[in-house]
């Protein structure tokens, strides 16, 4: 084992590793402003959930839909902690001039009945709402949306070359979330979003105003479905291309394994990072054509740690997203859910990350305890065939830019072994890499492209799909992928950070597929049928749909 300095490699595009080292020493004592988008009770009250037993026209109104007027954008957001930001001066434009944008959907913990519609408006509006229906032109009564207001200072950008030209000196973002419950399983709903002065159902709808989603079938093994996944998307032509491929594949849902917009391009989770909140607007606009129709379920990456809003860095995430809150309340990126015969668990890899340690152990062991309880529950459910875990950081990877996470290997991999997790999906390294099945840190056998893994016998397969669109990284060893296999029998080096911040290089044999390029993962899940076992067919696809890996995870 050789040792190198941890400062010899990047922290996911961090501009200054020296500052990261300085920050590391002091991050536990540095005060942070509290988050600014309302009280926790207001954010996640289940009393605010929509109750819909049937949909379409009068049936929606009869089902007890919340009426507009219970939520409105606040021009003076509550600021907890110190120091408060100056209240922004907002000249309210007519509602008709403020078009909604950046729609993105998410499932609740029960995707057969719960969908969250989220979007933005460019200014303060009154009575924002969503209307849903079973036909594009037959929308029900408005369902009130919760407003989460986020105020950011332009001075948080570093450098700030255009600051003096921009007025006001703060950015106020209005994120709207309508939580729909008691929807009909396995049903397509159409919807529009609006507010006072802008109601696509009450006037001639403009192109793109009407979107749709489909609820999951009722809980049970189901008949099979497809989901997609990538991490590290960012904003740009490649990011848009992978998004378009998601749309083309038409999955039931998409997993985003963190590092979404790179608004915080530093990625260390410290106030010295470079940050421009406005990049989130561009991110959501870029993804609207896909995310307005397909639920995106996100895990937090190191670039989602935005220390200006909340003590845990996730105030921005809580304003912009509504993921299931079934871990322990305000857990943000830690939640579990199921879709047909697959149990899914989202983890916060910042909690175990020695490489970027700002939030290291911030759950104080709660996440590990919760993870084991969810793995045990999924494995005890005889209608769940597969368990898929997704998170940002890499448990196993030979890409040196961010390396592999010793914390995940020590804390979580033994649980993945114990409960025979079928697939672990991550990002963080901006490449595609797939391991042989691993147990106790070692490959159990070689499984090349086209091969089949039996997790009960072979162990867990780890996939890094960080080629969602941001700048690519490189491997120390040659690429080897479907149709372009290269000699790959020699051990290759893996870099890990230890708790003291030093990097270590060890040789490993499990790096089976490596591809340096933009891509996503598409997984076809199928229950057992007569003569065929339950299986996950996993494909890694480039931006133009070319397969660079294909393997099957099969349970008899
Ligand atoms: Fe990244
Ligand atoms: Fe990352």
> pLDDT per position in the chain (556 positions), as tens?
333 333 334 444 433 322 333 232 223 222 333 333 433 333 333 333 333 332 333 333 333 222 222 233 333 332 233 344 555 554 566 888 999 999 999 999 999 999 999 999 999 999 999 999 999 888 999 999 999 999 998 888 765 555 666 667 889 999 999 999 999 999 999 999 999 999 998 766 777 899 999 999 998 878 999 999 999 999 999 999 999 999 999 999 999 999 999 999 999 999 989 899 999 999 999 999 999 999 999 999 999 999 999 999 999 999 999 999 989 876 789 999 999 999 999 999 999 999 899 999 999 999 999 999 999 999 999 999 999 999 999 999 999 999 999 999 999 999 999 999 999 999 999 999 999 999 999 999 999 999 999 999 999 999 999 999 999 999 999 999 999 999 999 999 999 989 988 999 999 999 999 999 999 999 999 999 999 999 999 999 999 999 999 999 999 7
Q: What is the pLDDT of residue 514?
A: 98
* Ligand number nearest to the C-alpha of 403: 2
Q: How many angstroms does the Cα of residue 10 sit away from the middle of ligand 1? A: 11
This prediction's pTM: 0.86
- Note the residue count of the chain: 556
* 428 CA distance to ligand 2 middle (Å): 4
Distance 344 CA to ligand 1 centre (A): 22
Q: Which residues are found with C-beta within 5 Å of the ion, ligand 2?
A: 12, 259, 301-302, 428
| Distance of CA 473 from the midpoint of ligand 1 (Å) | 10
Question: Which ligand is closest in space to the CA of residue 304?
Answer: 2
Centroid of ligand 1 to alpha carbon of 268 (angstroms): 11
CA distance 263 to 278: 7
Answer whether 6's CB lies under 8 Å from 24's CB. Answer: no
Distance 217 CA to ligand 2 centre (A): 34
Q: How far is CA 525 from CA 26, 111, 223, 251, 457, in A?
A: 46, 16, 9, 11, 20
Ligand nearest to C-alpha 349:
2
Residue 193: its pLDDT value, please? 97
CA of 464 to the centre of ligand 2 (A): 11
Ligand nearest to the CA of 231: 1
Distance of CA 248 from the midpoint of ligand 2 (Å): 26
Distance 164 CA to ligand 1 centre (A): 30
Distance 519 CA to ligand 2 centre (A): 16
Cα 358 to averaged position of ligand 2 atoms, centre (Å): 13
Report how far ligand 1's centroid is from the alpha carbon of 429 (Å).
6
Distance 412 CA to ligand 2 centre (A): 18
What is the whole-number distance in angstroms between the Cα of residue 141 and the centre of ligand 1?
41
Closest CA to 464 of 410, 512, 416, 396: 396
Distance of CA 496 from the midpoint of ligand 2 (Å) = 15
How many Å lie between the centroid of ligand 2 and the Cα of residue 1? 25
- Sign, CA dihedral 55-61-66-67, equals positive
Residue burial 365-386, b: 16+ Cβ < 10 Å; e: rest = eebbebbeebbeebeeeeebbb
Query: Phi/psi of residue 532, each to 5°?
Result: -135, 130
How many A from CA of 425 to the centre of ligand 2?
A: 13
Q: What 3-state class would DSSP assign to 262? A: coil
Q: State residue 219's pLDDT score.
A: 85
How many whole angstroms separate alpha carbon 271 and alpha carbon 185? 44
- Please give the distance, rounded to the nearest whole angstrom, from the Cα atom of residue 173 to the centre of ligand 1: 24
| Ligand index nearest the alpha carbon of residue 300 | 2
Ligand 2 centre and the CA of 356: distance in Å? 9
**For residue 232, which ligand has an atom nearest its CA?**
1
Cα 471 to ligand 2 centre (Å)? 12
The closest ligand to the CA of 470 turns out to be 1
> Among all ligands shown, which has an atom nearest to the Cα of 393?
2
231 alpha carbon to ligand 2 midpoint, in Å? 8
Q: What's the CA-to-centroid distance between 45 and ligand 2, angstroms?
A: 31
Q: 476 CA distance to ligand 2 centroid (A)?
A: 19
DSSP 366: H
Distance 402 CA to ligand 1 centre (A): 9
Calculate how far, in angstroms, residue 12's C-alpha sits from the geometric centre of ligand 1. Answer: 5
Ligand 2 center–CA 432 separation, angstroms: 14
DSSP state of 511: E
Peptide bond connecting 83 to the previous residue in cis, omega within 30 degrees of 0 = yes
Task: Find the DSSP H helices in 220-278.
Answer: 237-249
Ligand 2 centroid – CA 12 distance (Å): 5
In this structure, which ligand is nearest to the CA of 303? 2
Q: Are 461 and 423 in contact (CB under 8 A)?
A: yes
Can you read off the two tokens belonging to residue 426?
A: 């991550």
Quick check: 246 and 290 in contact, CB under 8 A? yes
For residue 251, what are the contacts with CB-CB under 8 A and spacing of at least 6? Answer: 225, 226, 227, 228, 294, 522
């Amino acid at each position: 084992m050789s040792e190198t300095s941890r400062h010899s490699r990047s922290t996911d595009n961090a501009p200054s590793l020296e500052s990261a080292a300085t920050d590391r020493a002091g991050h536990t004592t540095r005060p942070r402003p509290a988050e600014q988008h309302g009280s926790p009770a207001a954010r996640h009250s289940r009393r605010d959930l929509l109750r819909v037993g049937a949909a379409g026209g009068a049936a929606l109104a009869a089902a007890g839909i919340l009426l507009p007027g219970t939520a409105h954008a606040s021009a003076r957001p509550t600021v907890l902690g110190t120091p408060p930001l100056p209240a922004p001066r907002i000249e309210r434009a007519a509602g008709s001039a403020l078009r909604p944008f950046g729609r993105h959907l998410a499932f609740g913990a029960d995707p057969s009945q719960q969908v969250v519609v989220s979007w933005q408006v460019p200014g303060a509006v009154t009575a924002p709402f969503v209307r849903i229906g079973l036909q594009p032109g037959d929308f029900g009564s408005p369902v009130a949306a919760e407003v989460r207001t986020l105020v950011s200072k332009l001075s948080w950008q570093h450098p700030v070359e255009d600051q003096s030209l921009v007025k006001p000196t703060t950015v106020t973002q209005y994120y709207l979330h309508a939580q729909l419950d008691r929807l009909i399983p396995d049903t397509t709903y159409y919807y529009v979003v609006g507010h006072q002065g802008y109601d696509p159902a009450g006037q001639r709808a403009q192109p793109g105003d009407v979107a749709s989603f489909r609820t999951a079938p009722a809980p049970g093994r189901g008949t099979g479905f497809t989901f997609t996944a990538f991490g590290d998307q960012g904003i740009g032509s490649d990011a848009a291309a992978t998004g378009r491929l998601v749309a083309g594949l038409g999955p039931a849902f998409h997993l985003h394994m963190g590092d979404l917009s790179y608004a915080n391009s530093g990625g260390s989770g410290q106030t010295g990072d470079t940050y421009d909140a406005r990049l989130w607007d561009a991110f959501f606009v870029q993804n609207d054509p896909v995310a307005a129709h397909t639920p995106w379920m996100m895990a937090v990456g190191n670039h989602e740690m935005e220390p200006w809003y909340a003590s845990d860095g996730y105030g921005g995430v809580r304003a912009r997203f509504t993921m299931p809150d079934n871990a322990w309340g305000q857990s943000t990126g830690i939640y579990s859910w199921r879709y047909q015969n697959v149990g899914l668990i989202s983890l916060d890899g910042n909690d175990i990350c020695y490489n970027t340690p700002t939030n290291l152990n911030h759950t104080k062991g709660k996440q590990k305890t919760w993870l084991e309880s969810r793995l045990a529950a999924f494995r005890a459910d005889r209608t769940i065939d597969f368990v898929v875990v997704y998170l940002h950081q890499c448990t196993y990877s030979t890409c040196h830019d961010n390396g592999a996470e010793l914390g995940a290997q020590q804390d979580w991999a033994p649980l993945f072994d114990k409960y025979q997790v079928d697939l672990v999906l991550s990002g963080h390294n901006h490449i595609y890499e797939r391991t042989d099945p691993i147990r106790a840190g070692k490959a159990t056998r070689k499984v090349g492209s086209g091969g089949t893994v039996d997790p009960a016998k072979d162990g867990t397969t780890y996939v890094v799909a960080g080629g969602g669109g941001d700048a690519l990284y490189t491997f120390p060893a040659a690429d080897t992928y479907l149709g372009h296999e290269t000699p790959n029998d020699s051990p290759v080096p893996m870099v890990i950070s230890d708790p003291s911040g030093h990097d270590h290089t060890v040789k490993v044999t499990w790096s089976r597929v490596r591809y340096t390029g933009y891509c996503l993962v598409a997984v076809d899940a199928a229950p057992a049928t007569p003569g065929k076992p339950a299986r996950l067919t996993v494909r890694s696809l480039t931006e133009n749909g070319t397969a660079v890996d294909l393997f099957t995870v099969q349970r008899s």
